Structure 1
Amino acid sequence: MSKDIQEYLNVIRRQYRDELYFQNFRKRYIEWLENSKVDGDENLLTSLLFNLEFYPKVVIKKKLKEKISELKKLSNNFYSTVILPLTPTDGRHSGSNDMIQIIKEIEREEVMRGSNFLPYRDTILTDIKYSEEYKNLIFVDDISGTGDTVKEFIGEHHELMKGKKVTFLFIVVTKKSLDSFENIIKEYGDIQFEFIYCDLAKDLSAANVLSKEQYERLYHIEEGLWGKGNRNILGYKNSELLILFSHNIPNNTVSAFWYHSKHKPDKWKRLFVRISAPNRKRQNYENRKVTNR
């Protein structure tokens, strides 16, 4: 193991020993490198790891607190403003719900200090359907990699947003999602949109992390894992991101970090567990097929 890797692992152990994603990390890193099939694969994977941007909970909390404090000053102390999760149109739990929990944690900490972060007990609402009487809506999420979730959400709830100021707040966005936001603003003239973010992530190509040969090799590896044409190659819809949050690794991140096959667990040893669950309808369908055999 090289000196650079040893130093990196030591930094991880010192700085992130309480983070779940870095528990027993050295062992998992070594196992991850065992995926290497040809010369150069270890260097390729290690280069990806060295350029992975990790967002600990304390950093996410600080960024959310700063942005929401700014918005509160600009919105008359949230007199007619509410904060909501950017819930996927199928209603499932997502990173947005994790952001809401962190905001609530900030509020609890301020209350314990004898102050308040959120001015009203209904500053946070669970669903847009309860927001009819409020003029300003703030939706929070951890990442927008393609802008698809936002576009689908607006399409689903357009009527409830008409005539209001609607703000979307993200920890991380991409150039692709910003382009999508511009199109949304042009499409919906009856809503005053504002898109706010903390960090703009560069994709793998723009960051020049890998050589041309390494990039082609990575694509070949991921294509072998998923199959040709799969939308998760190099991250969802080719997002090519190198992002890890303390609560989850987004599917926009290069999938060599998180790919896992339930039926063939030895196909690829993942470095980070992507927290997700089976699609209920698909799972029930598969169960019925097995039962009917």
Structure 2
Amino acid sequence: MPASRGNFSQLLAPGLAAIIYEDLEALPEEYSQVFNVYPSTRAYEEDNLVAGLGSVPRKREGETLTMDEPIQGGTLRFTHESFGLGFQITREMWDDDQYSIMERVSRDFAAGIKQTVESTYANVLNDGFTTTKTVDGETLYNTAHPLLGGGTYSNRAATEIALSTTGLQELILLFEKMVNERGLLKRMIPEYLCIPTDLQFKAGEILHSPYKPYTGNNEVNVFQGRLMPMVNHYLTSASAWFIMANRRNHTLKGYWRIQPQFDSQDDWGTKGANFSVYFRLSTGAAYWHGTCASKGV
């Protein structure tokens, strides 16, 4: 059938777009299970750190009330980055009915989009011990987060420890003793154990065994049903592991400025059809509260 200049790309676009969307939706998103995801209409978003009021002191008869006020901290900016990629379907490929090749290219295109988005989010955790900074200027997982009201607090194992019953107990205690910027107990409960693929079987043994694993004493397994294991295939360390509250109680987050947009147009010079994707997003961690981690060993 003739395909005139100006409609070749439009002729191909519906079928290729269907393949791309099908592959994007083939497996569930992992990043949205861990991170809070928001829309954005600006070039950047900001989070400000503010410490509320402290504990209420005892007041003796006739004494004037002690006055307090919030403490202003720093600001963290989420600047949206742009991502884009294109590919071309040649006119000859269409003429020779090489649809299987076009289908494979489209599926690879979808895989590349998924990999980029998932990895961009996962890198918040991957780099959490080194370069991911929170609003206090420290790395996401740090042994000395400065508190605006004075003092510090840790959300990282003092000595790196492997995922184990001992390690899990240490981090859960660290998590449940977590304080706010004024040193007041936050009373946070961890709900998820986020792990790389390498630790999924170890996590299953620890969290699902009816008795304490790796002993013959028939002790009750205090971790059974305590945390939900969450495998993230985009974590790059085979040993690092993370515990976190539900999404309402932590600020690991990302913003969609532009969701993936697909475009197509004819290439007059080659008689082929060009296809592209473009999107903008930002990711990060506003605060360290609600998550603890160990690099493992």
**TM-score, normalization by structure 1:** 0.25
**Higher radius of gyration, 1 or 2:** 2
Which has the larger share of helix? 1
Which has the larger share of strand? 2
**TM-score, normalization by structure 2:** 0.25
Work out which structure has the larger RCO, using CA pairs closer than 8 Å and 6 or more positions apart in sequence: 2
